[in-house]
A and B are shown apart, each in its own frame.
Chain A
Amino acid sequence: MFRLGKHVARILLTVLLGGILGATLLRVAPGFGVDEEELDSRLNDQSIRALRQEQQTDTNVITFYFRYLGRMLHGDLGISRTLRRPVSELLRERLPETAKSVTLSLALGWALSFALVILALMSRSWSVDLFGSVISGFLLCLPAAVLSVLFVMSRAPARLVLALIVFPNVYRYVRNLLLRSASQPHVLMAQAKGLGNFRIMLWHILWPAAPQLLALGGVSVSLALTAAIPVEALCDLPGIGQLAWKAALGRDLYLLVNLTMVVTVITLLANSASNLLGEAFRPSAA
Protein backbone atom coordinates (compact mmCIF):
# COMPACT_ATOMS: atom_id res chain seq x y z
CA MET A 1 0.00 0.00 0.00
CA PHE A 2 2.90 2.30 0.89
CA ARG A 3 4.58 1.53 -2.46
CA LEU A 4 1.36 2.30 -4.34
CA GLY A 5 1.07 5.60 -2.47
CA LYS A 6 4.68 6.42 -3.34
CA HIS A 7 4.03 5.82 -7.04
CA VAL A 8 0.83 7.90 -6.99
CA ALA A 9 2.64 10.73 -5.17
CA ARG A 10 5.42 10.62 -7.76
CA ILE A 11 2.94 10.87 -10.63
CA LEU A 12 1.09 13.77 -8.95
CA LEU A 13 4.37 15.59 -8.29
CA THR A 14 5.43 15.14 -11.90
CA VAL A 15 2.08 16.47 -13.14
CA LEU A 16 2.37 19.46 -10.81
CA LEU A 17 5.97 20.24 -11.75
CA GLY A 18 5.30 19.47 -15.41
CA GLY A 19 2.31 21.81 -15.29
CA ILE A 20 4.47 24.60 -13.88
CA LEU A 21 7.18 23.90 -16.46
CA GLY A 22 4.57 23.83 -19.23
CA ALA A 23 2.97 27.05 -18.02
CA THR A 24 6.41 28.70 -17.91
CA LEU A 25 7.12 27.60 -21.48
CA LEU A 26 3.79 29.01 -22.61
CA ARG A 27 4.27 32.21 -20.65
CA VAL A 28 7.75 32.97 -22.02
CA ALA A 29 7.03 31.86 -25.59
CA PRO A 30 7.09 34.59 -28.24
CA GLY A 31 3.57 35.69 -29.15
CA PHE A 32 2.07 35.11 -25.69
CA GLY A 33 -0.82 37.45 -24.92
CA VAL A 34 -1.42 38.37 -28.54
CA ASP A 35 -4.71 37.34 -30.13
CA GLU A 36 -5.09 37.08 -33.89
CA GLU A 37 -8.69 38.23 -33.44
CA GLU A 38 -7.34 41.76 -32.89
CA LEU A 39 -6.51 41.87 -36.60
CA ASP A 40 -10.16 41.44 -37.55
CA SER A 41 -11.00 44.76 -39.25
CA ARG A 42 -14.71 44.40 -38.39
CA LEU A 43 -13.97 44.86 -34.67
CA ASN A 44 -14.32 48.39 -33.32
CA ASP A 45 -12.02 50.00 -30.74
CA GLN A 46 -14.27 49.01 -27.87
CA SER A 47 -14.21 45.33 -28.83
CA ILE A 48 -10.43 45.37 -29.27
CA ARG A 49 -10.08 47.00 -25.84
CA ALA A 50 -12.30 44.29 -24.36
CA LEU A 51 -10.18 41.60 -26.00
CA ARG A 52 -6.98 43.13 -24.61
CA GLN A 53 -8.63 43.34 -21.19
CA GLU A 54 -9.26 39.58 -21.34
CA GLN A 55 -5.61 38.96 -22.19
CA GLN A 56 -4.50 41.23 -19.32
CA THR A 57 -5.86 38.77 -16.74
CA ASP A 58 -3.14 36.29 -17.73
CA THR A 59 -0.13 38.64 -17.71
CA ASN A 60 0.55 38.11 -14.02
CA VAL A 61 2.82 35.04 -13.88
CA ILE A 62 1.48 33.65 -10.59
CA THR A 63 -2.15 34.10 -11.65
CA PHE A 64 -1.32 32.46 -14.94
CA TYR A 65 0.25 29.42 -13.18
CA PHE A 66 -2.72 28.90 -10.92
CA ARG A 67 -5.27 29.45 -13.66
CA TYR A 68 -3.39 27.05 -15.95
CA LEU A 69 -3.06 24.35 -13.27
CA GLY A 70 -6.64 24.83 -12.14
CA ARG A 71 -7.95 24.48 -15.69
CA MET A 72 -5.70 21.46 -16.26
CA LEU A 73 -6.96 19.70 -13.12
CA HIS A 74 -10.54 20.29 -14.30
CA GLY A 75 -9.75 18.62 -17.63
CA ASP A 76 -9.71 21.89 -19.59
CA LEU A 77 -6.49 21.74 -21.59
CA GLY A 78 -7.12 24.90 -23.56
CA ILE A 79 -7.77 25.53 -27.24
CA SER A 80 -5.43 24.53 -30.06
CA ARG A 81 -4.25 27.66 -31.86
CA THR A 82 -3.76 26.00 -35.24
CA LEU A 83 -6.76 23.66 -35.26
CA ARG A 84 -9.13 25.99 -33.34
CA ARG A 85 -10.52 23.10 -31.32
CA PRO A 86 -10.33 22.15 -27.63
CA VAL A 87 -7.17 20.13 -26.91
CA SER A 88 -9.13 17.61 -24.80
CA GLU A 89 -11.43 16.92 -27.77
CA LEU A 90 -8.43 16.39 -30.06
CA LEU A 91 -6.89 14.03 -27.55
CA ARG A 92 -10.10 12.03 -27.24
CA GLU A 93 -10.14 11.69 -31.01
CA ARG A 94 -6.47 10.83 -31.54
CA LEU A 95 -5.47 8.80 -28.47
CA PRO A 96 -7.31 5.58 -29.44
CA GLU A 97 -5.47 5.50 -32.78
CA THR A 98 -2.07 5.79 -31.08
CA ALA A 99 -3.11 3.34 -28.37
CA LYS A 100 -3.98 0.82 -31.06
CA SER A 101 -0.64 1.27 -32.87
CA VAL A 102 1.39 1.20 -29.65
CA THR A 103 -0.37 -1.91 -28.30
CA LEU A 104 0.11 -3.76 -31.56
CA SER A 105 3.74 -2.73 -31.84
CA LEU A 106 4.48 -3.75 -28.25
CA ALA A 107 2.81 -7.13 -28.73
CA LEU A 108 4.66 -7.81 -31.98
CA GLY A 109 8.01 -6.40 -30.85
CA TRP A 110 7.99 -8.38 -27.62
CA ALA A 111 6.74 -11.58 -29.29
CA LEU A 112 9.47 -11.39 -31.93
CA SER A 113 12.16 -10.68 -29.34
CA PHE A 114 11.04 -13.52 -27.07
CA ALA A 115 10.70 -15.95 -29.96
CA LEU A 116 14.25 -15.27 -31.18
CA VAL A 117 15.88 -15.30 -27.74
CA ILE A 118 14.05 -18.43 -26.55
CA LEU A 119 14.82 -20.19 -29.84
CA ALA A 120 18.50 -19.31 -29.50
CA LEU A 121 18.59 -20.44 -25.87
CA MET A 122 16.71 -23.70 -26.35
CA SER A 123 18.47 -24.73 -29.53
CA ARG A 124 21.82 -23.39 -28.24
CA SER A 125 22.40 -22.32 -31.81
CA TRP A 126 24.87 -19.48 -32.39
CA SER A 127 23.42 -18.86 -35.85
CA VAL A 128 19.99 -17.92 -34.43
CA ASP A 129 21.69 -15.65 -31.89
CA LEU A 130 23.82 -14.06 -34.60
CA PHE A 131 20.76 -13.59 -36.83
CA GLY A 132 18.86 -11.81 -34.04
CA SER A 133 21.86 -9.65 -33.11
CA VAL A 134 22.54 -8.63 -36.72
CA ILE A 135 18.88 -7.79 -37.42
CA SER A 136 18.49 -5.81 -34.19
CA GLY A 137 21.83 -4.04 -34.74
CA PHE A 138 20.79 -3.07 -38.25
CA LEU A 139 17.39 -1.78 -37.11
CA LEU A 140 19.03 0.24 -34.32
CA CYS A 141 21.04 2.12 -36.96
CA LEU A 142 17.92 3.22 -38.85
CA PRO A 143 16.06 6.35 -37.77
CA ALA A 144 12.33 5.72 -37.19
CA ALA A 145 11.54 8.27 -39.91
CA VAL A 146 13.59 6.40 -42.53
CA LEU A 147 11.94 3.12 -41.61
CA SER A 148 8.54 4.79 -42.00
CA VAL A 149 9.41 6.17 -45.45
CA LEU A 150 10.73 2.76 -46.54
CA PHE A 151 7.44 1.19 -45.42
CA VAL A 152 5.40 3.81 -47.27
CA MET A 153 7.48 3.27 -50.42
CA SER A 154 7.07 -0.49 -50.27
CA ARG A 155 3.36 -0.09 -49.42
CA ALA A 156 3.74 -2.26 -46.29
CA PRO A 157 1.32 -1.87 -43.34
CA ALA A 158 2.41 1.29 -41.52
CA ARG A 159 1.56 -0.01 -38.05
CA LEU A 160 4.32 -2.60 -38.34
CA VAL A 161 6.97 0.14 -38.37
CA LEU A 162 6.50 0.79 -34.66
CA ALA A 163 6.97 -2.92 -33.94
CA LEU A 164 10.29 -2.84 -35.81
CA ILE A 165 11.38 0.11 -33.70
CA VAL A 166 10.40 -1.58 -30.43
CA PHE A 167 11.92 -4.95 -31.39
CA PRO A 168 15.69 -4.18 -31.49
CA ASN A 169 15.64 -2.28 -28.20
CA VAL A 170 13.64 -4.98 -26.42
CA TYR A 171 15.61 -7.81 -28.06
CA ARG A 172 18.99 -6.61 -26.77
CA TYR A 173 17.82 -6.36 -23.14
CA VAL A 174 15.79 -9.57 -23.21
CA ARG A 175 18.73 -11.45 -24.76
CA ASN A 176 21.22 -10.19 -22.17
CA LEU A 177 18.82 -10.77 -19.28
CA LEU A 178 17.87 -14.30 -20.27
CA LEU A 179 21.46 -15.25 -21.16
CA ARG A 180 22.56 -14.11 -17.71
CA SER A 181 19.65 -15.93 -16.10
CA ALA A 182 20.42 -19.10 -18.10
CA SER A 183 24.04 -19.18 -16.96
CA GLN A 184 23.12 -19.26 -13.25
CA PRO A 185 24.22 -22.35 -11.28
CA HIS A 186 20.64 -23.36 -10.43
CA VAL A 187 19.86 -23.68 -14.15
CA LEU A 188 22.87 -25.96 -14.67
CA MET A 189 21.74 -27.98 -11.69
CA ALA A 190 18.23 -28.29 -13.13
CA GLN A 191 19.68 -29.41 -16.46
CA ALA A 192 21.91 -31.95 -14.71
CA LYS A 193 18.87 -33.32 -12.90
CA GLY A 194 17.24 -33.92 -16.28
CA LEU A 195 14.41 -31.39 -16.13
CA GLY A 196 12.69 -30.67 -19.45
CA ASN A 197 13.73 -27.67 -21.53
CA PHE A 198 10.29 -26.05 -21.30
CA ARG A 199 10.20 -26.34 -17.53
CA ILE A 200 13.71 -24.97 -17.14
CA MET A 201 12.90 -22.07 -19.42
CA LEU A 202 9.65 -21.18 -17.65
CA TRP A 203 10.53 -21.67 -13.98
CA HIS A 204 14.31 -21.31 -13.83
CA ILE A 205 15.12 -18.73 -16.50
CA LEU A 206 12.03 -16.60 -17.20
CA TRP A 207 10.59 -16.47 -13.68
CA PRO A 208 13.71 -15.06 -11.94
CA ALA A 209 14.11 -12.50 -14.74
CA ALA A 210 10.44 -11.44 -14.54
CA PRO A 211 10.95 -8.23 -12.45
CA GLN A 212 13.53 -6.84 -14.90
CA LEU A 213 11.44 -7.92 -17.89
CA LEU A 214 8.43 -6.11 -16.45
CA ALA A 215 10.51 -2.98 -15.85
CA LEU A 216 11.57 -3.17 -19.48
CA GLY A 217 7.89 -3.41 -20.40
CA GLY A 218 7.29 0.02 -18.89
CA VAL A 219 10.27 1.50 -20.71
CA SER A 220 9.15 0.04 -24.04
CA VAL A 221 5.79 1.88 -23.74
CA SER A 222 7.70 5.17 -23.56
CA LEU A 223 9.85 4.09 -26.50
CA ALA A 224 6.84 3.26 -28.67
CA LEU A 225 5.08 6.52 -27.79
CA THR A 226 8.15 8.57 -28.69
CA ALA A 227 8.59 6.72 -31.99
CA ALA A 228 4.93 7.40 -32.77
CA ILE A 229 5.81 11.00 -33.79
CA PRO A 230 7.87 10.24 -36.93
CA VAL A 231 5.91 7.10 -37.77
CA GLU A 232 2.44 8.68 -37.59
CA ALA A 233 3.64 11.89 -39.26
CA LEU A 234 5.23 10.16 -42.24
CA CYS A 235 2.81 7.23 -42.59
CA ASP A 236 -0.22 9.51 -42.22
CA LEU A 237 -1.70 7.76 -39.18
CA PRO A 238 -4.07 10.14 -37.36
CA GLY A 239 -2.72 9.68 -33.82
CA ILE A 240 -1.20 11.96 -31.19
CA GLY A 241 2.24 11.63 -32.79
CA GLN A 242 0.98 13.22 -35.98
CA LEU A 243 -0.86 15.82 -33.90
CA ALA A 244 2.38 16.69 -32.06
CA TRP A 245 4.24 17.06 -35.36
CA LYS A 246 1.56 19.36 -36.80
CA ALA A 247 1.55 21.37 -33.58
CA ALA A 248 5.35 21.73 -33.73
CA LEU A 249 5.25 22.94 -37.33
CA GLY A 250 2.48 25.41 -36.46
CA ARG A 251 4.18 26.41 -33.16
CA ASP A 252 0.96 25.49 -31.36
CA LEU A 253 2.47 25.48 -27.88
CA TYR A 254 -0.76 24.94 -25.93
CA LEU A 255 -1.31 21.73 -27.82
CA LEU A 256 2.34 20.61 -27.65
CA VAL A 257 2.77 21.21 -23.94
CA ASN A 258 -0.47 19.41 -23.13
CA LEU A 259 0.40 16.51 -25.41
CA THR A 260 3.77 16.18 -23.71
CA MET A 261 2.04 16.21 -20.33
CA VAL A 262 -0.46 13.53 -21.36
CA VAL A 263 2.27 11.30 -22.80
CA THR A 264 4.34 11.81 -19.63
CA VAL A 265 1.43 10.71 -17.46
CA ILE A 266 0.84 7.62 -19.64
CA THR A 267 4.56 6.79 -19.47
CA LEU A 268 4.64 7.23 -15.69
CA LEU A 269 1.54 5.08 -15.27
CA ALA A 270 3.09 2.33 -17.42
CA ASN A 271 6.39 2.52 -15.52
CA SER A 272 4.67 2.50 -12.13
CA ALA A 273 2.45 -0.43 -13.11
CA SER A 274 5.44 -2.44 -14.34
CA ASN A 275 7.47 -1.59 -11.23
CA LEU A 276 4.61 -2.58 -8.91
CA LEU A 277 4.11 -5.83 -10.79
CA GLY A 278 7.86 -6.44 -10.70
CA GLU A 279 7.92 -5.89 -6.94
CA ALA A 280 5.11 -8.42 -6.59
CA PHE A 281 7.29 -10.98 -8.38
CA ARG A 282 10.41 -10.25 -6.38
CA PRO A 283 9.81 -12.22 -3.13
CA SER A 284 8.96 -15.42 -4.95
CA ALA A 285 11.89 -14.89 -7.32
CA ALA A 286 14.26 -14.61 -4.39
Chain B
Amino acid sequence: MKWAPTLAVSLLALTAAACVLADVIAPASYTHQFRAEPDAAPSRQHLLGTDDLGRDRFSRLLYGTRVSLLLAPAAALLSSLLAALIGGTAGFRGGRVEKIVMSGTDLFLSLPWLFLLITVRALMPLNVSPIVSAAITFLLLGCLGWAAAARVVCADARSLRNSDFILLARASGSSGLRLLWRHMVPNLLPVLLAQFWISVPAFILTEANLGMLGLGVAEPLPSWGSLLREMQSYPSLAGNPWRFIPLLLFIVLVSCFQLVMVQEELPA
Protein backbone atom coordinates (compact mmCIF):
# COMPACT_ATOMS: atom_id res chain seq x y z
CA MET B 1 0.00 0.00 0.00
CA LYS B 2 3.01 2.30 -0.51
CA TRP B 3 1.19 3.99 -3.39
CA ALA B 4 -1.71 5.11 -1.16
CA PRO B 5 -0.04 8.23 0.36
CA THR B 6 1.22 9.28 -3.10
CA LEU B 7 -2.30 8.92 -4.48
CA ALA B 8 -3.66 10.88 -1.50
CA VAL B 9 -1.19 13.74 -2.02
CA SER B 10 -1.98 13.79 -5.77
CA LEU B 11 -5.71 13.95 -5.09
CA LEU B 12 -5.23 16.74 -2.56
CA ALA B 13 -3.03 18.66 -4.99
CA LEU B 14 -5.61 18.23 -7.76
CA THR B 15 -8.44 19.43 -5.52
CA ALA B 16 -6.37 22.36 -4.27
CA ALA B 17 -5.58 23.35 -7.88
CA ALA B 18 -9.27 23.15 -8.83
CA CYS B 19 -10.18 25.32 -5.85
CA VAL B 20 -7.50 27.90 -6.60
CA LEU B 21 -8.87 28.10 -10.13
CA ALA B 22 -12.47 28.25 -8.88
CA ASP B 23 -12.95 31.70 -10.41
CA VAL B 24 -12.14 30.20 -13.80
CA ILE B 25 -13.70 26.74 -13.48
CA ALA B 26 -16.92 27.60 -11.61
CA PRO B 27 -19.83 28.22 -13.97
CA ALA B 28 -21.38 30.81 -11.61
CA SER B 29 -20.66 32.80 -8.47
CA TYR B 30 -21.40 31.00 -5.20
CA THR B 31 -24.01 33.63 -4.38
CA HIS B 32 -25.75 33.72 -7.76
CA GLN B 33 -29.30 32.39 -7.49
CA PHE B 34 -30.97 30.87 -10.53
CA ARG B 35 -34.45 31.67 -9.25
CA ALA B 36 -36.18 29.67 -11.98
CA GLU B 37 -34.25 26.50 -11.16
CA PRO B 38 -34.33 25.70 -7.43
CA ASP B 39 -33.43 22.09 -6.53
CA ALA B 40 -32.56 21.32 -10.17
CA ALA B 41 -31.08 17.99 -11.22
CA PRO B 42 -27.58 17.85 -12.76
CA SER B 43 -27.41 19.29 -16.27
CA ARG B 44 -24.79 20.65 -18.64
CA GLN B 45 -25.22 24.08 -17.05
CA HIS B 46 -25.27 22.86 -13.45
CA LEU B 47 -22.99 19.82 -13.12
CA LEU B 48 -24.23 18.92 -9.62
CA GLY B 49 -27.63 20.56 -9.85
CA THR B 50 -28.74 23.52 -7.74
CA ASP B 51 -29.68 23.92 -4.07
CA ASP B 52 -33.07 25.04 -2.74
CA LEU B 53 -32.19 28.70 -3.45
CA GLY B 54 -31.16 27.92 -7.03
CA ARG B 55 -27.40 28.30 -6.39
CA ASP B 56 -25.10 26.18 -8.52
CA ARG B 57 -23.95 23.32 -6.28
CA PHE B 58 -20.72 22.67 -8.20
CA SER B 59 -19.63 26.30 -7.85
CA ARG B 60 -20.43 26.29 -4.16
CA LEU B 61 -18.51 23.05 -3.75
CA LEU B 62 -15.42 24.56 -5.39
CA TYR B 63 -15.56 27.77 -3.34
CA GLY B 64 -16.47 25.90 -0.13
CA THR B 65 -13.56 23.52 -0.54
CA ARG B 66 -11.32 26.53 -1.16
CA VAL B 67 -12.39 28.12 2.14
CA SER B 68 -11.85 24.92 4.13
CA LEU B 69 -8.63 23.88 2.36
CA LEU B 70 -7.15 27.33 2.84
CA LEU B 71 -8.23 28.06 6.39
CA ALA B 72 -7.91 24.62 8.02
CA PRO B 73 -4.17 24.39 7.19
CA ALA B 74 -3.78 28.01 8.32
CA ALA B 75 -5.42 27.14 11.65
CA ALA B 76 -3.28 23.99 11.88
CA LEU B 77 -0.17 26.09 11.24
CA LEU B 78 -1.19 28.48 14.02
CA SER B 79 -1.83 25.67 16.51
CA SER B 80 1.46 23.95 15.54
CA LEU B 81 3.35 27.21 16.07
CA LEU B 82 1.69 27.70 19.46
CA ALA B 83 2.52 24.09 20.34
CA ALA B 84 6.13 24.63 19.25
CA LEU B 85 6.39 27.80 21.31
CA ILE B 86 4.75 26.43 24.47
CA GLY B 87 5.86 22.78 24.32
CA GLY B 88 9.29 23.57 22.88
CA THR B 89 10.07 26.20 25.53
CA ALA B 90 8.86 23.93 28.35
CA GLY B 91 10.85 20.94 27.08
CA PHE B 92 13.98 23.01 26.41
CA ARG B 93 13.97 24.81 29.76
CA GLY B 94 12.95 21.77 31.82
CA GLY B 95 12.69 21.88 35.63
CA ARG B 96 10.01 24.06 37.20
CA VAL B 97 9.12 25.84 33.94
CA GLU B 98 8.32 22.51 32.29
CA LYS B 99 6.28 21.34 35.28
CA ILE B 100 4.21 24.52 35.45
CA VAL B 101 3.64 24.78 31.70
CA MET B 102 2.73 21.12 31.35
CA SER B 103 0.36 21.27 34.34
CA GLY B 104 -1.37 24.18 32.61
CA THR B 105 -1.50 22.18 29.39
CA ASP B 106 -2.98 19.20 31.22
CA LEU B 107 -5.64 21.42 32.75
CA PHE B 108 -6.42 22.83 29.32
CA LEU B 109 -6.63 19.30 27.92
CA SER B 110 -9.10 18.26 30.59
CA LEU B 111 -11.61 20.83 29.28
CA PRO B 112 -13.93 19.14 26.78
CA TRP B 113 -12.88 20.39 23.31
CA LEU B 114 -16.24 21.05 21.65
CA PHE B 115 -17.83 22.50 24.81
CA LEU B 116 -14.91 24.90 25.18
CA LEU B 117 -15.03 25.78 21.49
CA ILE B 118 -18.72 26.63 21.41
CA THR B 119 -18.41 28.55 24.68
CA VAL B 120 -15.64 30.75 23.29
CA ARG B 121 -17.46 30.96 19.93
CA ALA B 122 -20.59 32.16 21.75
CA LEU B 123 -18.51 34.92 23.35
CA MET B 124 -17.84 36.30 19.89
CA PRO B 125 -20.62 38.04 18.02
CA LEU B 126 -22.69 35.57 15.95
CA ASN B 127 -24.14 38.14 13.52
CA VAL B 128 -20.96 39.11 11.67
CA SER B 129 -20.07 39.18 7.98
CA PRO B 130 -19.37 35.76 6.39
CA ILE B 131 -15.64 36.43 5.97
CA VAL B 132 -15.28 37.54 9.59
CA SER B 133 -17.22 34.46 10.76
CA ALA B 134 -14.85 32.23 8.73
CA ALA B 135 -11.83 33.99 10.23
CA ILE B 136 -13.24 33.74 13.79
CA THR B 137 -14.08 30.03 13.40
CA PHE B 138 -10.66 28.99 12.12
CA LEU B 139 -8.78 31.36 14.42
CA LEU B 140 -10.53 29.78 17.39
CA LEU B 141 -9.65 26.31 16.12
CA GLY B 142 -6.02 27.35 15.83
CA CYS B 143 -5.90 29.05 19.22
CA LEU B 144 -7.62 26.23 21.12
CA GLY B 145 -6.12 23.20 19.38
CA TRP B 146 -2.49 23.48 20.50
CA ALA B 147 -2.55 21.57 23.81
CA ALA B 148 -2.23 17.94 22.65
CA ALA B 149 0.49 18.87 20.16
CA ALA B 150 2.35 20.86 22.86
CA ARG B 151 2.62 17.71 25.01
CA VAL B 152 4.21 15.76 22.16
CA VAL B 153 6.58 18.61 21.26
CA CYS B 154 7.55 19.03 24.93
CA ALA B 155 8.40 15.32 25.24
CA ASP B 156 10.51 15.51 22.08
CA ALA B 157 12.26 18.70 23.17
CA ARG B 158 13.01 17.12 26.56
CA SER B 159 14.71 14.13 24.95
CA LEU B 160 16.63 16.44 22.60
CA ARG B 161 17.75 18.59 25.56
CA ASN B 162 19.37 15.53 27.13
CA SER B 163 20.95 14.27 23.90
CA ASP B 164 24.70 14.09 23.28
CA PHE B 165 24.85 16.58 20.42
CA ILE B 166 23.13 19.26 22.50
CA LEU B 167 25.55 18.56 25.34
CA LEU B 168 28.42 18.92 22.88
CA ALA B 169 26.99 22.16 21.52
CA ARG B 170 26.67 23.49 25.08
CA ALA B 171 30.24 22.45 25.83
CA SER B 172 31.34 24.30 22.69
CA GLY B 173 29.84 27.45 24.14
CA SER B 174 26.57 27.73 22.19
CA SER B 175 24.18 30.15 23.85
CA GLY B 176 20.56 29.33 24.71
CA LEU B 177 19.05 31.07 21.71
CA ARG B 178 21.58 29.62 19.27
CA LEU B 179 21.00 26.14 20.74
CA LEU B 180 17.29 26.59 20.30
CA TRP B 181 17.42 27.97 16.75
CA ARG B 182 20.27 25.94 15.24
CA HIS B 183 19.88 22.62 17.00
CA MET B 184 16.45 22.22 18.59
CA VAL B 185 14.12 23.70 15.96
CA PRO B 186 15.46 21.69 12.97
CA ASN B 187 15.16 18.49 15.02
CA LEU B 188 11.65 19.33 16.16
CA LEU B 189 10.42 19.96 12.62
CA PRO B 190 9.39 16.33 11.82
CA VAL B 191 7.24 16.22 14.99
CA LEU B 192 5.73 19.60 14.20
CA LEU B 193 4.99 18.53 10.65
CA ALA B 194 3.26 15.38 11.94
CA GLN B 195 1.22 17.50 14.38
CA PHE B 196 0.31 19.85 11.53
CA TRP B 197 -1.01 16.98 9.40
CA ILE B 198 -2.93 15.55 12.37
CA SER B 199 -4.57 18.93 13.00
CA VAL B 200 -5.74 19.64 9.43
CA PRO B 201 -8.37 16.85 9.14
CA ALA B 202 -9.34 17.36 12.79
CA PHE B 203 -10.04 21.05 12.13
CA ILE B 204 -11.93 20.30 8.90
CA LEU B 205 -14.13 17.83 10.80
CA THR B 206 -14.68 20.29 13.66
CA GLU B 207 -15.58 23.12 11.27
CA ALA B 208 -18.04 20.78 9.55
CA ASN B 209 -19.62 19.98 12.93
CA LEU B 210 -19.79 23.66 13.90
CA GLY B 211 -21.18 24.61 10.49
CA MET B 212 -23.92 22.01 10.71
CA LEU B 213 -24.86 23.37 14.13
CA GLY B 214 -25.07 26.93 12.76
CA LEU B 215 -21.99 28.08 14.68
CA GLY B 216 -19.44 28.04 11.87
CA VAL B 217 -18.93 30.06 8.72
CA ALA B 218 -21.97 32.24 7.97
CA GLU B 219 -23.98 32.13 4.75
CA PRO B 220 -23.70 32.88 1.89
CA LEU B 221 -19.95 32.07 2.04
CA PRO B 222 -19.75 28.32 1.50
CA SER B 223 -17.56 26.03 3.60
CA TRP B 224 -17.70 22.29 4.24
CA GLY B 225 -19.94 22.92 7.23
CA SER B 226 -22.50 24.95 5.29
CA LEU B 227 -22.36 22.58 2.28
CA LEU B 228 -23.06 19.57 4.49
CA ARG B 229 -25.73 21.51 6.37
CA GLU B 230 -27.81 21.30 3.23
CA MET B 231 -28.31 17.61 4.03
CA GLN B 232 -30.58 18.56 6.92
CA SER B 233 -33.28 19.60 4.46
CA TYR B 234 -33.31 16.26 2.62
CA PRO B 235 -36.33 14.18 3.59
CA SER B 236 -34.67 10.77 3.06
CA LEU B 237 -31.58 8.96 1.88
CA ALA B 238 -33.32 7.59 -1.20
CA GLY B 239 -33.47 9.47 -4.50
CA ASN B 240 -31.36 12.29 -5.99
CA PRO B 241 -27.97 10.71 -5.27
CA TRP B 242 -26.09 13.72 -6.73
CA ARG B 243 -26.96 15.71 -3.61
CA PHE B 244 -24.57 13.51 -1.67
CA ILE B 245 -21.57 14.24 -3.90
CA PRO B 246 -20.26 16.99 -1.55
CA LEU B 247 -20.35 14.45 1.30
CA LEU B 248 -18.52 11.92 -0.85
CA LEU B 249 -15.83 14.43 -1.76
CA PHE B 250 -15.56 15.41 1.90
CA ILE B 251 -14.96 11.78 2.92
CA VAL B 252 -12.38 11.33 0.15
CA LEU B 253 -10.49 14.49 1.11
CA VAL B 254 -10.46 13.74 4.85
CA SER B 255 -9.30 10.17 4.04
CA CYS B 256 -6.48 11.65 1.95
CA PHE B 257 -5.43 13.82 4.89
CA GLN B 258 -5.58 10.79 7.20
CA LEU B 259 -3.35 8.82 4.80
CA VAL B 260 -0.81 11.65 4.60
CA MET B 261 -0.98 11.92 8.39
CA VAL B 262 -0.15 8.21 8.83
CA GLN B 263 2.82 8.64 6.50
CA GLU B 264 4.03 11.70 8.43
CA GLU B 265 3.52 10.06 11.80
CA LEU B 266 5.73 7.06 11.00
CA PRO B 267 9.10 8.84 10.73
CA ALA B 268 8.19 11.23 13.59
Contact = CB atoms under 8 A, between A and B. Distances in A.
A146 B112 contact: no
Nearest to B113: A226
B215 interface: yes
B107 A154 contact: no
B162 interface: no
Interface string B81-102: 0000000000000000000000
B115 A146 contact: no
Given A229-B114, A247-B122, A145 B251 contact: no
Contacts of A226: 112-115
B interface: dominant SS: helix
B121 A141 contact: no
B258 interface: yes
Interface string B37-58: 0000000000000000000000
A15 to B, nearest CB: 11
A145 B112 contact: no
A150 B123 contact: no
A29 B123 contact: yes
B160 interface: no
B122 A268 contact: no
A248 B237 contact: no
Interface residues of B, number: 38
Interface string A16-29: 01100000010001
Contact of B228 (A145, A229, A251): A145
A211 B240 CA distance: 49
A18 B111 contact: yes
Given A226-B112, A244-B115, A248-B121, A145 B235 contact: no
Q: Which of A154, A225, A256 has the most CB of B within 10 A?
A: A256
Interface string B171-213: 0000000000000000000000000000001000110110011
B213 A230 contact: yes
B254 interface: yes
B268 to A, nearest CB: 16
A271 interface: yes
B251 A230 contact: no
22 contacts: A13-B107, A14-B110, A30-B125, A138-B255, A141-B254, A141-B258, A143-B205, A143-B212, A143-B228, A145-B212, A153-B234, A153-B237, A227-B114, A230-B212, A248-B118, A248-B119, A248-B121, A248-B215, A249-B214, A264-B111, A264-B115, A267-B110
Interface of B: 107, 110-116, 118-123, 125-126, 201, 205-206, 208-209, 212-215, 228, 231-232, 234-237, 247, 250-251, 254-255, 258
6 smallest beta-carbon distances between A and B, as pairs: A145-B212, A143-B208, A141-B254, A248-B118, A260-B115, A248-B122
